[in-house]
Amino acid sequence: MVDRVEAKIRALFREGLPITSDVVAYIEATLGSADPHIVANLLDRPGESDSDTLLELVFFPDAAFQRGVETVLGGKALSPADQACLAERLMTAPASARFIFPTHPQHLDCNLPVAGVEAFLTRLGLGWSLDARLREALDRWAAEFEGAGNTDFLSLLVRLRNAGLAQTQGQVGLLKDFLERMPAEDSRWDACFDFLLAFLSERGDTLNFYRALMARKMYLLRHLIKARRQAERMSRSNMETLSATGFRAAHFDTAAAERALGCIDAIALAVYGRTEHFDGTPVSVDLGVTGAADIEGVLRRLL
């Protein structure tokens, strides 16, 4: 497989790597202009801090690049020996990349530097492989739901690879239940999937993911209420007066918290058939058990 992965990386480099608006902003702030000639000048000076930072930015594999590599990997991993072989090949015969600037008609050709090979390959997560149980669930999801929403099988593989989950029994069980029960046409599906991956990365494994989700919900609610009270207090007084009383404004991303709370409720209702209000009042829905075959999954969700 190492031959195919190497060939795909080189092909994707030749097709072109888009320079994002964030990178353009960094280039303009650093160099005063995002002109390809000026950028090439800087990239030709390895070892300088600005050059090394820029190399990391422009050679950062985006979602489209990762999708291309995943068409070869298919959820599988390269062995440590194969990864070392791939790195050696890219160092011995550097891969040439074409950079595409969104605001400039001219392209820039540049080789992946030897010093950047290891970091680039690490970001691709080539050592991670998809658990067989989760593979079955993804295959069933693709057969039944792909096309109903805004995501697809390859995108899910890339996001799982980036999350790098240990794929413990509990993690796999929760992800399988989510894939089976979360309506694919729900506009929150992608946000919920990303939230779940981040949540599982932080939690590892547990005997009761439902309680862990509710604990996160309570934590977010407490801080959200506190942030709103702080904003109300600030709207009624000026900062000089508040500072004189020893008041210190704490930053809390209320918009992100609200999105996370929406995801928690959507996941809990879809997977467990219940959630809780901030006062502890439970809210439940019908899990839709249709026969004995469903009992095992229901019992797992009720633990």
- Which pLDDT does position 130 carry in this prediction? 96
The DSSP code for 95 is: P
How confident is the prediction for the chain on average, in pLDDT? 82
Task: Identify the CA nearest to 198 among candidates 256, 157, 159.
Answer: 159
Answer for the pair 177, 288: CB distance below 8 angstroms, yes or no: no
pLDDT tens digits, residue range 168-186? Answer: 999 999 999 999 999 988 8
Distance in angstroms (rounded) separating the CA atoms of residues 139 and 153: 8
Task: Identify the CA nearest to 219 among candidates 229, 227, 230, 231.
Answer: 227
Categorize the per-residue pLDDT at 298 as very low, low, confident or very high, splitting at 50, 70 and 90.
very low
Distance in angstroms (rounded) separating the CA atoms of residues 138 and 103: 39
For the chain, give every domain's residue range: 2-123, 132-203, 209-302
Task: Identify the CA nearest to 2 among candidates 97, 91, 73, 101.
Answer: 73
Q: Evaluate if residue 267 carries a pLDDT over 90.
A: yes
pTM value is: 0.80
**What is the total residue count of the chain?**
303
User: Per the structure block, which two tokens stand in for 148?
Assistant: 């109903």
Answer for the pair 163, 136: CB distance below 8 angstroms, yes or no: no
E strand or H helix at 156, and its extent? helix 153-163
Answer for the pair 152, 112: CB distance below 8 angstroms, yes or no: no
Task: Identify the CA nearest to 74 among candidates 165, 13, 4.
Answer: 4
Answer for the pair 189, 182: CB distance below 8 angstroms, yes or no: yes
Mean pLDDT of the region 143-165: 88
The DSSP code for 275 is: E
User: Per the structure block, which two tokens stand in for 232?
Assistant: 């109300």
Q: At 25, give phi and psi (nearest 5°).
A: -65, -40
SS3 of residue 283 by DSSP: strand
Categorize the per-residue pLDDT at 296 as very low, low, confident or very high, splitting at 50, 70 and 90.
very low
